[in-house]
Structure 1
Amino acid sequence: VSLAGPEAHAELNGVYLLNDTTHCDNHTYIGHDVPDCTSDELYKGIVAGKGTGVFNGKVYVKQDAQRTR
């Protein structure tokens, strides 16, 4: 997700339920490109047995993207 407009907002949410040998990958990227943008992320998971879950999130704030929340 690229936040490229003034006061842009992104909200990323996810939920997963894994069991046995199931696997879930969540990879997110949020780029704050301009000032005054906001973003929120919330991921929750329940894993049982030999299931595996991965969350890999990156938030990148450009140097001139001041007042980012």
Structure 2
Amino acid sequence: MSNYDDLVSDFFESYVKSPRSGYTKEGNFTEEVITAAAKLLLNEKVFESEQEMKKEALKDYGIILPAKIFKEN
């Protein structure tokens, strides 16, 4: 995993927790958990929009969140 993956995981871990099964062997959230966390944070109005969440991630962690986490399956 890259430093970027660590930072994306760290961003979401600052808001939600996951059981051990939600982590990769490197200790980061799985892609599924990240997608579910993004959806949860929007549904619970922690962030009013994807744009607001992206701005917070950029401000706090210096990362641009990947668009794929916001796509509906």
Report which of the two has the higher share of helix: 2
Q: TM-score scaled to structure 2, two decimals? A: 0.20
Question: Does 1 or 2 have the higher relative contact order (CA < 8 Å, sep 6+)?
Answer: 1
Compare CA radii of gyration and give the structure with the larger one: 1
